[in-house]
Amino acid sequence: MTDEASLPDLPAHVQRLPDRGGLAVLRLQGPQGATVEVCTQGAHVLSWRDATGRERLFLSPRARFAPGAAIRGGVPVVFPQFSGRGALPKHGLLRGLPWRLSETSSDARAARLAFEIQDSGATRGLWPHAFHARLVIVLEAGALDIRLQVTNTSPTPFSFTSALHSYLAVADVRVAQVHGLAQRPYEDAADGGEWRVHPDAPLGFDGEVDRVYPEVRSALVLEEPGHRLQVAAEGFPDVVVWNPGPSLAAALVDLGEDQCARFACLEAASVLKPVVLGPGEHWSGGQRLQTA
């Protein structure tokens, strides 16, 4: 059920939408009519419409909304484990937990929400560390900036992997391309973790794509006929590119074969080299999505 105490009195630029599966959903109104919708479970961004009204994120029509359940699409927060690369539940601990709305503001340039969460008995039962996490969402007319901040509040160091698992909407992924990865090495998780070098060409989507590109410093561009989206990261050294392809999508009950053509995941991530934080230390990583 929704935790009413986690939602203070809301200003005019933040609207509470009808709950979905007992989960609270907020809409942030930004400049020139841009909007973002966020589920307080997971601080999960569900929708981003820029000032033109175009939906820039994919949310599966079969996404499950229920306490503790992962939501398929939008921008899930991955922490402290990426995917199944470890002993924790897939993609970590935070996407199925309620976050607290801690800040909201708005001016002529941007509107902003911030959510916070800290360790609890539930998290320490799986991952025995004390932490504080904050997700800051900044909405502009033609851009969305999402930043994850983590503080080690325990007396000992810990390490983690993390990502902003962005599902970017496209009309047809089969004619979409990603620019900016030419001649870069990548780990091909769709082929047993083999290492390869990307050719001197844009990345296209033909069947399953599941890759980790390390140490990507420059912005990428997701292009489809008539539309371009610039994707830039800061603090996250790796880029994960994922689309399940029809066969795998058909096996996912919250997705389905017919939906895999509607998105490309370009994720800001720290996968291959875990972040190490000592007691009291802070880390921050963000992703900026900007219409181009």
185: domain CATH number is 2.70.98.10
Which pLDDT does position 2 carry in this prediction?
A: 43
Look up the domain containing 165 and give its range: 4-291
Which pLDDT does position 138 carry in this prediction?
A: 98
Cα separation, 106 vs 222, in Å, equals 29
Phi, psi of 51 (to 5 degrees): -65, -15
What share of the chain has pLDDT > 90, as a percent? 97
Which pLDDT does position 6 carry in this prediction?
A: 60
Across-strand partners of 282? 151
The list of the chain residues with pLDDT below 70 reads 1-6
Structural domain tally of the chain?
Answer: 1
* Secondary structure class of 45 (helix, strand, coil): strand
Active-site hit among 129, 140, 165, 224: 165
Is residue 168 within 8 Å of 222, Cβ to Cβ? yes
Told to judge if 281 belongs to the known catalytic residues of this protein, a careful annotator would answer no
Cα separation, 51 vs 35, in Å, equals 8
Cα separation, 276 vs 285, in Å, equals 14
Told to judge if 129 belongs to the known catalytic residues of this protein, a careful annotator would answer no
- Alpha-carbon torsion 109, 52, 26, 263, what sign? negative
Active-site hit among 37, 187, 223, 267: 267
Both tokens of 97, joined, read 């937990």
Q: How far is CA 63 from CA 40, 69, 70, 226, 259, in A?
A: 16, 10, 8, 28, 11
Residues 6+ apart with CB under 8 A from 41: 23, 24, 67, 71, 95, 96, 97, 98, 99
Residues 6+ apart with CB under 8 A from 48: 34, 35, 36, 55, 56, 57, 139, 144, 289
* Secondary structure class of 9 (helix, strand, coil): coil
